[in-house]
A and B are shown apart, each in its own frame.
Chain A
């Protein structure tokens, strides 16, 4: 079934058709949320919220636009909402404790901790927009125009975010000597 066909089915109230869209895009949306929020548990919550919001707002979706980009922009905005909420100190503290617990629970402890440390060190250097831009560029090979569509900004602004992100990451990687 084609994507537009699935969407029209969903618009008629067929929830089961939406499963196809979720299965198709869940890993992309989850990876974006994970990179932006730097936390797996929160990324899962936000990705779920994004899909639910997309389902209830499908009637607002412009069929001429890319569905994936529309979904990404919803997920990105949900991430921003979450970051705003999570800015209080106590919540931050709670997350740190939870993250530590999770990472110790997993197998291959050392490797995972190393990876997550580098991951968070690198992403801490970037702001939300830069994180989103670089994720879309690296994971999806998006152009500045497509990134701008997701971030809801001008193409030139998206290019600036991408440039800044790359510059910072390059510097960090050289310092770490990966």
Chain B
């Protein structure tokens, strides 16, 4: 119905006047007549509840399924758990995995991937071992003590003469 007449219809409080307004408007307005005509045509073409009523009731089949609820519920459960992950979430997850894979392949030399190797190098006994072949104190051979921190980054060398009692 035309907007102006819709507003008028809303404005008029008495039903009798409302129906007169509608009848007069629809008799004269070709646009509204066409609207009604098209809706009538659609009603004839579309499936309406009246057409379906002749088809018989769905209840016997529904009842049968309702009395075997375990199957139905388990089926629904599977469906729901699968549907909780939406398509776009799958796509995003695959995309992220791909990005991580590509980065890890392309930037193999990044420090983040080499950290563990470096630590191993630090720990390697051959490269960090401190060897003192000989030591002298006042032209006499002396005792040598080597202390190293656990990560072998710091070494303390202590030398003392053979006859000394303390450091």
Secondary structure type dominating chain B contacts: helix
- B44-83 CB mask vs A (1 if < 8 Å, else 0) is 0111111111010111011101110100110010000000
Q: Which of A1-9, A28-36, A92-100, A147-155 contacts B (4 or more CB under 8 A)?
A: A28-36
Residues of B within 8 A of A23 (CB): 57, 59
User: A115 at interface (Cβ–Cβ under 8 A)?
Assistant: yes
A51 touches B58 (CB 8 A): yes
A21-64 contacts to B, CB under 8 A, are 22-23, 26-28, 30-31, 34-35, 40, 44, 47-48, 51-53, 55-56
User: A113 at interface (Cβ–Cβ under 8 A)?
Assistant: no
Q: A28-B49, A138-B43 are in contact. Are A173 and B38 (CB under 8 A)?
A: yes
Residues of B within 8 A of A35 (CB): 46-47
User: A82 at interface (Cβ–Cβ under 8 A)?
Assistant: no
Residues of A within 8 A of B46 (CB): 31, 35, 119, 134-135, 138-139
Contact-size category for B: 20 to 34
Secondary structure type dominating chain A contacts: helix
The distance in angstroms between the C-alpha atoms of A25 and B100, with both chains bound, is 53
Task: Report the tally of A-B residue pairs with Cβ distances under 8 A.
Answer: 84
B55 touches A30 (CB 8 A): yes
The distance in angstroms between the C-alpha atoms of A173 and B37, with both chains bound, is 11
A15 touches B73 (CB 8 A): no
Residues of B within 8 A of A173 (CB): 38, 41
B49 touches A27 (CB 8 A): yes
The distance in angstroms between the C-alpha atoms of A55 and B39, with both chains bound, is 34
Distance (whole angstroms) from the CB of A13 to the closest CB of chain B: 10
The distance in angstroms between the C-alpha atoms of A37 and B58, with both chains bound, is 17
B38 touches A170 (CB 8 A): yes
Q: A27-B52, A31-B47, A139-B48 are in contact. Are A22 and B73 (CB under 8 A)?
A: no
Jot down 8 A-B pairs with beta carbons below 8 A, ordered by A.
A15-B63, A18-B62, A30-B55, A53-B76, A56-B76, A134-B42, A170-B38, A173-B38
Kindly list 7 other residue pairs between chains A and B, CB separation below 8 angstroms, not including A22-B57, A30-B58, A134-B46: A15-B66, A22-B58, A26-B57, A27-B49, A52-B62, A169-B42, A178-B45
Closest 9 A/B residue pairs (Cβ):
A27-B49, A34-B47, A27-B52, A31-B47, A31-B52, A30-B52, A27-B53, A31-B49, A26-B58
